[in-house]
Amino acid sequence: MEKFTQVSDISSVPAMVRKALELKANPHAHTVLGANKTVGLIFMNPSLRTRLSSQKAAMNLGMNAMVMNIDKEGWALELRDGAVMNGTTVEHIKDAAGAMGLYCDVIGIRCFPGLISREDDYREHVLSQFIKYCPVPVMSLESATRHPLQSFADMITIEEHKLHTTPRVVLTWAPHVKALPQAVSNSFAEWALASKYDVVITHPEGYELSEEFTHGATIDHNQERALDGADFVYVKNWSSYKDYGKILTQDDSWLLTNDKLKNTANAKIMHCLPVRRNVELSDEVLDSPNSLIMQQAENRIYAAQAVLKELLEGV
Amino acid sequence: MEKFTQVSDISSVPAMVRKALELKANPHAHTVLGANKTVGLIFMNPSLRTRLSSQKAAMNLGMNAMVMNIDKEGWALELRDGAVMNGTTVEHIKDAAGAMGLYCDVIGIRCFPGLISREDDYREHVLSQFIKYCPVPVMSLESATRHPLQSFADMITIEEHKLHTTPRVVLTWAPHVKALPQAVSNSFAEWALASKYDVVITHPEGYELSEEFTHGATIDHNQERALDGADFVYVKNWSSYKDYGKILTQDDSWLLTNDKLKNTANAKIMHCLPVRRNVELSDEVLDSPNSLIMQQAENRIYAAQAVLKELLEGV
Amino acid sequence: MEKFTQVSDISSVPAMVRKALELKANPHAHTVLGANKTVGLIFMNPSLRTRLSSQKAAMNLGMNAMVMNIDKEGWALELRDGAVMNGTTVEHIKDAAGAMGLYCDVIGIRCFPGLISREDDYREHVLSQFIKYCPVPVMSLESATRHPLQSFADMITIEEHKLHTTPRVVLTWAPHVKALPQAVSNSFAEWALASKYDVVITHPEGYELSEEFTHGATIDHNQERALDGADFVYVKNWSSYKDYGKILTQDDSWLLTNDKLKNTANAKIMHCLPVRRNVELSDEVLDSPNSLIMQQAENRIYAAQAVLKELLEGV
């Protein structure tokens, strides 16, 4: 594997999930591979789980990890080719990515969308420029349109808890007070579909995700119908893709409560965290025995570890 | 040991001090214990000595350390159970503490008091919520009302320098320009009393600490009388506990100078740092051969190391 | 070696360059030396290359690295001896440097100039106070007037690419939108002169560097004449030393373009980065095969590693 930014970068989701579960069973089995290797974890945005789980994954492999908050500890990067840099950007991404790659064997980068220009965000301008100029393999720590380490961890979690081969996996929109990226939802859809699950996506009208990610899924604006028979319910807010970056509604009838789960197949509940409790999901759902949120968070380690291992072996 | 937040978490101060001194004599003797173990050091507030000494302690044990400034690198945490999180808090401490514990074998957390509500601060709301939801042992890196790693280091330092079994240990209030927590003073009092030392506390009227911490100490509003015969003088500012969080006086007659030490038993001088020179203590005192401030700072390593070792062994 | 702050701290540039190239050929040969040793990397200012390359250098030696952004994660330091600290500074550099040294075997510190008082900056007040009070060897990660790790890396790079013993090395001023320190230029001049190279410095009138650094170099205000026959062209902006800290001109005729290089000896191009593209140098120059900017950035590792090794061996 030369980079890890989306599901198409790996040859098989089930095979990668198996590798991650092997690492989970034996996390320190590959410290020879990581010895004297370094991962740089570059954050342009805040992070908790990604920050800690990626470091933990690196350390499990015997790697060193260097964390840099480039926005706070460094400076603003220029993205435009050919720019006359007489403004506020201090360094071109070409030079920053080039240099950072000299100090690392793998680089992870987090770069959120601006949620202003759909075109800019969806061409993944920052991530793709970074990859273009970085001399070592790059893994996404969440980019403008995808969060592949999260989705990989989600697939590991479903694998551990599914009761039959093709579970019904429902992604349901939830209210939120802020305009959030579509990244987690896009990514979850493409990974669940690549896993050949029965994927249903439910949301209010106007919240349709890009078909690039949802092709093959059932789209239903009726949450109750969508949840019927669900084995897994993935709850997530996102802002509008069509009316880009906008909050169209905060309709709290979309808040997921236990009552709404009564017609599911005793569904397991998933969320990537951080979660706005009692806005997206009720406490009763999040704290129920069916909640997998901590299992998902734990599997972030083994998703990152499997990716780092593949990237090191691909070198 | 399952947690380390106050003196009552350890069975015996003298025994812990002995363990710390053994580690000081042989800091790298236990790297097998720490191998493949990780401590997460979570800061909600600034830190210099705690930040560096805790990392050093972990590395001495062969552990990995992950440092996170959650206020700057993460986001604001919700503390209220059952809250409808439609405001500015991004994640409930329940979920954040739960997830962070998945990536670590021990977690250290620093959470200062607000100095607004005495009730909130003294029930240690942040620390206790964190411990409640964190699946691994927690050590305080200073909480609203206590700084146990500092006090443990202070006890190690006194043990190294005391000339007889029951030294006279005087905690004296000092002026300051800011309203500071009572944490270091509370903690020092409870550790010195648990060590069976002859503890005297002196401060202007109105600066009485909570009796919870000072029971068994002599309280004297006359600094001169309090210092008479002192073997150790611990200098520290704190804001009022009674008139909570307030500065009642900045009376510079409480500044500790050499002249005030003339009736002590050639007292050793202690301060936890950072210190406002020539406001709390004069340069001449801080820089005298009797000053133990650097010894205290160094012993922070072995206090943290002894605690980490116990917490790992208690797992 | 007891400290590393300027070229005079090392006995011989060519010998140190050889040591660095040996480390580059065999980076992990000295992990026994670094085992259980810690470097503290203290930043008062932003950093990318220095931050990452110094960590990498430490890890190559088997050392642990602790990074602290003292301005953001700690507090403001007092520099004045005898100060009554009733203002905004929280800790005296005496106590902070003293304590940090207790937790580390070597400390690196970055402290930029204020560019307000030439006297304060050029006496290196922060760095020299830090060294005075720090109990372990200190290496500069760029100070008010010098950036010796950069210059050392530059000398390694020239050594790798020079075609004859005494290359003509031209340092040319370039325009910029901000007032920058003279540190990189000062340091490059003193290291290139110590290397016995034929050093030419060209800049608009008023941008003369302090003779302390340039003694032995040819100064020429005519950029075209200066570049004639150059083997290496080092491009850098700096603010005025004479009219201290001021931007006297942003004359874009000083922008370095390919056209200006036509009378050089097929000169190699150098810059310390970050670079303002198309303000200091044109894209065509920076991206040409003659550009050594990435080689310089990579050699930052081996410069730092050679320095750390010498400082550890000097302990």
**Closest residue in chain C to residue B63, using alpha carbons only:** C64
- pLDDT of chain A, 315 residues: tens digit per residue: 999 999 999 999 999 999 999 999 999 999 999 999 999 999 999 999 999 999 999 999 999 999 999 989 999 999 999 999 999 999 999 999 999 999 999 999 999 999 999 999 999 999 999 999 999 999 999 999 999 999 999 999 999 999 999 999 999 999 999 999 999 999 999 999 999 999 999 999 999 999 999 999 999 999 999 999 999 999 999 999 999 999 999 999 999 999 999 999 999 999 999 999 999 999 999 999 999 999 999 999 999 999 999 999 996
Alpha helices in chain A (DSSP H): 13-25, 31-34, 49-60, 70-73, 93-102, 118-122, 125-133, 148-161, 183-194, 211-214, 223-227, 283-286, 293-314
The pLDDT, as a whole number, for residue C71 is 87
CA distance A266 to A262: 8
The pLDDT, as a whole number, for residue A124 is 98
CA-based nearest distance C141→chain B, Å: 19
Q: How many CA atoms lie within 13 A of B126 on its CB side?
A: 23
CA distance A225 to B123: 46
Structure tokens belonging to residue A248? 């169209």
CA-based nearest distance B99→chain A, Å: 6
Q: Which of A103, A106, A133 to mutate to test the interface with C (most CBs of C within 10 A)?
A: A103
CA-based nearest distance C83→chain B, Å: 7
Task: Give the single-character DSSP code of B1.
Answer: -
pLDDT category of residue B71 using cuts at 50, 70 and 90: confident
Q: Provide the residue type at C196 as one letter.
A: K
CA distance A256 to A267: 12
User: Among candidates B180, B315, B172, which has minimal Cα distance to B240?
Assistant: B180
Those chains having 3 or more beta-carbon pairs within 8 angstroms of chain B are A, C
Question: How many beta carbons lie within 10 A of that of residue A272, not counting itself?
Answer: 24
CA distance A40 to A105: 8
Question: How many beta carbons lie within 10 A of that of residue B166, not counting itself?
Answer: 11
> What is the pTM (predicted TM-score) of this model?
0.97
Contact A99, C297 (CB under 8 A): yes
Q: B247 Cβ partners below 8 Å, 6+ apart?
A: B176, B178, B179, B239, B240
Cβ contacts of A273 on chain B, cutoff 8 Å: 91, 95, 99
Domains of chain B listed by start with CATH number: 3-146+297-314 (3.40.50.1370), 150-294 (3.40.50.1370)
Alpha helices in C110-161 (DSSP H): 118-122, 125-133, 148-161
**Closest residue in chain B to residue C98, using alpha carbons only:** B294
CA-based nearest distance A20→chain C, Å: 27
CA angle C28, A36, C314 (to 5 degrees): 40
The interface pTM score, or ipTM, of the predicted complex is: 0.96
Structure tokens belonging to residue A45? 């945005």
The pLDDT, as a whole number, for residue C315 is 62
Q: What is the mean pLDDT of chain B?
A: 97
Cβ contacts of A102 on chain C, cutoff 8 Å: 53, 294, 297-298, 301
Structure tokens belonging to residue B107? 């977690």
The pLDDT, as a whole number, for residue B315 is 61
Mean pLDDT of each 10-residue bin along chain C, 315 residues long: 97 98 98 97 97 98 97 93 96 98 98 96 97 98 98 98 98 97 98 98 98 98 98 98 96 96 98 98 98 98 98 88
User: Among candidates B224, B228, B235, which has minimal Cα distance to B270?
Assistant: B235
Nearest to A297 among B72, B87, B99 (CB): B99
Return the bridge partners of A314, or none.
none
Contact B240, B203 (CB under 8 A): no
CA distances (Å), C26 to each of B69, C1, C36, in order? 36, 22, 20
Cβ contacts of B286 on chain C, cutoff 8 Å: 95
Q: B156 Cβ partners below 8 Å, 6+ apart?
A: B17, B20, B21, B24, B299, B302, B303
CA distances (Å), A224 to each of A218, A221, A252, A262, C150, in order? 14, 9, 14, 10, 63
Contact A52, B40 (CB under 8 A): yes
Could B96 and A48 be called an inter-chain contact, meaning their C-beta atoms sit closer than 8 Å? yes
Contact A233, A264 (CB under 8 A): yes
